[in-house]
């Protein structure tokens, strides 16, 4: 049996589906409209849509209209079964014998509802099967090629809209989780800062009285060793709390024109005794053409001191540190590199190096590099690390000369390789 093609109806339905690609970000809305518009286009007694679950890979019933609503509770179908039924990627498959159609559990019931033919429309996007629409038709007839082309195009538009809506929802869920995590970390930071303040005062008292008692204790007193332990461990706790307070405070950099080489020289003078005790040689390669740069000198000095101390600890004894500065005139960036020949960093540790409270050392809080990272970012700069086990480590800091946001480096963040 043949019939005339309703081109206007096809066009209107196709237009409505095409609008979904640009107008909605809801997966449920895309699915619902795709089912109803397909039923309208094919004059079907009902339509049912299965959508692939990205987590399980199975095709689950997501929406239905008309007589197909009774099948909403049908179990999921495996991807392999769907692909086998489509016979190698058919764009449309027609079943004139509903008793022989796959996934038809009660063909007699479907027949009694007046269904005489089934039509499956796969939803492909970039060769990936996202879903399948099944239409229940009240009469068996031959489709002209123009009709089938419209149906194929409809399936492609539905797949495109579904893919876009899924991507948007995935991103929205990702950002919602990030926002929630950020709020939790912010609350935790405020709580930690409050606790640190409360603990800091009694610790200061313990340290004061412990130090006074230690001074008054005779060298051969049985209490001296215990007092030394109290003073040492209290000092360590106070240092940890001070680092925690520094990390929890958001200090806006007080920028002024500064010579980066001068800040490095000050940082080196602060750690000179530590490096000398460890017999570590420092090689300075400070470029003479460095321009004045907008920086908070005290904050950047803290960054360089922390990186130099980390390098010293990685070397332990009898090593070599190279500190180099240079200009990148094209990007208007000043670059500082601190390279050591120490033990290096494991790839797994390198990816988490700038996370707060993460440390692969037996001592310390894991806040030093996190604070340094924050300071560099507050200066619109970038910090990255290259390292390999047993082959040393190189930290690279890039800072914009005028203090404005600089271009992202191609290999930003923590990375591992040859320093």
**pLDDT confidence bin for 413, thresholds 50/70/90:** very low
Q: How far is CA 189 from CA 186, 246, 357, in A?
A: 5, 11, 12
What is the model's pLDDT at position 166? 79
Whether residue 240 is contained in a domain is answered as yes
Residue 64 and residue 169 in one domain: yes
Whether residue 16 is contained in a domain is answered as yes
What is the model's pLDDT at position 336? 94
**Domain region containing 381:** 256-414
Instruction: Determine phi and psi for 152, rounding to 5 degrees.
Output: -60, -45
Q: What number is the average pLDDT over the span 213-225?
A: 86
Q: Which of 199, 219, 248 is at the close of a domain?
A: 248
CATH of the domain at 154: 3.30.450.40
What is the model's pLDDT at position 265? 93
What is the model's pLDDT at position 418? 52
Residue 407 and residue 274 in one domain: yes
Q: What number is the average pLDDT over the span 177-206?
A: 75
What is the model's pLDDT at position 339? 93
pLDDT at 168 exceeding the cut of 70: yes
What is the model's pLDDT at position 263? 92
The residues, ordered by sequence, that sit 6+ positions from 146 with a Cβ below 8 Å of its Cβ are 5
- The more confident residue out of 365 and 270 is 270
pTM above 0.85, yes or no: no
Residue 37 and residue 135 in one domain: yes
Q: What number is the average pLDDT over the span 3-20?
A: 68
- The more confident residue out of 281 and 361 is 281
Residue 218 and residue 266 in one domain: no
Give the C-alpha separation, 415 to 419, whole Å: 10
Residue 34 and residue 166 in one domain: yes
pLDDT at 74 exceeding the cut of 70: yes
Question: Using DSSP, how many helices (H) and how many strands (E) does the chain show?
Answer: 10, 13
**pLDDT confidence bin for 4, thresholds 50/70/90:** low
Can you say whether residue 87 is alpha, beta or left, with left for phi > 0 and alpha for psi between -120 and 50 degrees?
Answer: left
- The more confident residue out of 336 and 85 is 336
When divided into structural domains, the chain yields a total of 3
Instruction: Determine phi and psi for 332, rounding to 5 degrees.
Output: 55, 50
**pLDDT confidence bin for 1, thresholds 50/70/90:** very low
> Long-range pairs for 23-30 at CB < 8 Å and ≥24 separation?
24/161, 24/165, 25/164, 25/165, 25/168, 25/169, 25/172, 26/165, 26/169, 27/162, 27/165, 27/166, 27/169, 28/63, 29/165, 30/158, 30/161, 30/162, 30/165
CATH of the domain at 276: 3.30.565.10
pLDDT at 224 exceeding the cut of 90: no
What is the model's pLDDT at position 417? 52
Residue 41 and residue 161 in one domain: yes
pLDDT digits (tens, 9 = 90+) for 109-161: 888 888 999 988 888 888 788 888 889 998 888 887 877 887 787 777 778 77
Spatial strand order of the sheet with 117-125 comes to 59-66, 46-52, 128-137, 117-125, 93-95
Among 51-55, 278-282, 357-361, which stretch is predicted with the lowest mean pLDDT? Answer: 357-361
Whether residue 195 is contained in a domain is answered as yes
pLDDT at 416 exceeding the cut of 50: no
- The more confident residue out of 166 and 21 is 166
pLDDT > 70 fraction of the chain, expressed in percent and rounded? 83
Whether residue 336 is contained in a domain is answered as yes
> Long-range pairs for 327-330 at CB < 8 Å and ≥24 separation?
327/287, 327/289, 327/290, 327/291, 328/398
CATH of the domain at 231: 1.10.287
Residue 262 and residue 241 in one domain: no
**pLDDT confidence bin for 365, thresholds 50/70/90:** low
pLDDT at 88 exceeding the cut of 70: no
Whether residue 1 is contained in a domain is answered as no
Residue 225 and residue 285 in one domain: no
Residue 108 and residue 158 in one domain: yes
What is the model's pLDDT at position 286? 92
pLDDT at 315 exceeding the cut of 60: yes
Give the pairing of strands 320-328 and 281-286: parallel
Specify the DSSP class assigned to residue 55: T
Q: Which of 124, 148, 173 is at the close of a domain?
A: 173
Residue 276 and residue 405 in one domain: yes
Q: Which of 140, 173, 206 is at the close of a domain?
A: 173
94: three-class secondary structure by DSSP = strand
What is the model's pLDDT at position 6? 65
Residue 263 and residue 403 in one domain: yes
Give the C-alpha separation, 241 to 276, whole Å: 28
Q: How far is CA 168 from CA 159, 165, 171, 172, 310, in A?
A: 14, 5, 5, 6, 42
Q: What number is the average pLDDT over the span 85-95?
A: 75
Burial track 8-38 (b if 16+ CB lie within 10 A, e otherwise) = eebeebbebbbebbeebeebeebbbbbbbbb
pLDDT at 102 exceeding the cut of 90: no
Residue closest to 88 by CA, chosen among 52, 129, 58: 129
Whether residue 241 is contained in a domain is answered as yes
Residue 50 and residue 142 in one domain: yes
Whether residue 115 is contained in a domain is answered as yes
Whether residue 419 is contained in a domain is answered as no
């Amino acid at each position: 049996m043949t019939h005339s093609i309703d081109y206007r109806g096809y066009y209107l339905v196709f237009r409505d589906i095409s609008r979904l690609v640009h107008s909605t970000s809801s997966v449920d809305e895309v699915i619902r409209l795709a089912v109803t518009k397909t039923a309208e286009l094919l004059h079907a007694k009902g339509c049912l849509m299965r959508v692939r679950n990205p987590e399980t890979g199975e095709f689950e019933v997501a929406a239905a209209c008309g007589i197909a609503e009774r099948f909403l509770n049908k179990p999921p179908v495996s991807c392999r079964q769907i692909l086998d039924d489509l016979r190698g990627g058919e764009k449309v498959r027609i079943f004139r014998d509903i008793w022989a159609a796959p996934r038809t559990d009660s063909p007699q019931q479907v027949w009694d509802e007046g269904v005489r033919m089934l039509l499956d429309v796969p939803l492909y996007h970039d060769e990936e099967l996202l879903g399948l629409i099944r239409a229940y038709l009240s009469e068996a007839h031959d489709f002209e090629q123009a009709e089938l082309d419209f149906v194929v195009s409809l399936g492609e538009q539905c797949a495109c809209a579904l893919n876009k809506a899924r991507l948007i929802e995935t991103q929205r869920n990702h950002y919602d989780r990030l926002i929630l995590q950020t709020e939790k970390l912010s609350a935790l930071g405020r709580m930690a800062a409050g606790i640190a303040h409360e603990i800091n005062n009694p610790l200061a008292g313990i340290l004061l009285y412990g130090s006074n008692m230690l001074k008054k204790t005779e060298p051969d007193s049985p209490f001296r060793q215990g007092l030394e332990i109290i003073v040492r461990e209290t000092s360590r706790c106070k240092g940890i709390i001070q680092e925690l307070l520094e990390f929890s405070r958001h200090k806006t950099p007080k920028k002024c024109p500064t010579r980066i080489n001068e800040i490095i020289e000050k940082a080196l003078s602060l750690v000179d005794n530590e490096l000398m005790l460890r017999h570590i040689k420092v090689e300075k390669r400070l470029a003479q053409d460095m321009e004045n740069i907008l920086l908070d000198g005290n904050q950047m000095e803290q960054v360089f001191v922390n990186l130099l101390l980390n390098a010293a600890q990685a070397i332990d004894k009898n090593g070599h540190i190279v500190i180099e500065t240079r200009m990148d005139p094209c990007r208007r960036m000043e670059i500082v590199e601190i390279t050591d020949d120490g033990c290096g960093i494991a790839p797994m540790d390198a990816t988490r190096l700038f996370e707060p409270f993460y440390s692969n050392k037996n001592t310390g809080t894991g806040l030093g590099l996190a604070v340094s990272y924050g300071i560099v970012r507050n200066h619109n700069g970038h910090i990255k690390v290259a390292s390999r086990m047993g082959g040393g480590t190189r930290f690279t800091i890039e800072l914009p000369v005028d203090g404005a946001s600089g271009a992202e480096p191609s290999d930003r963040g923590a990375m591992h390789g040859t320093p």
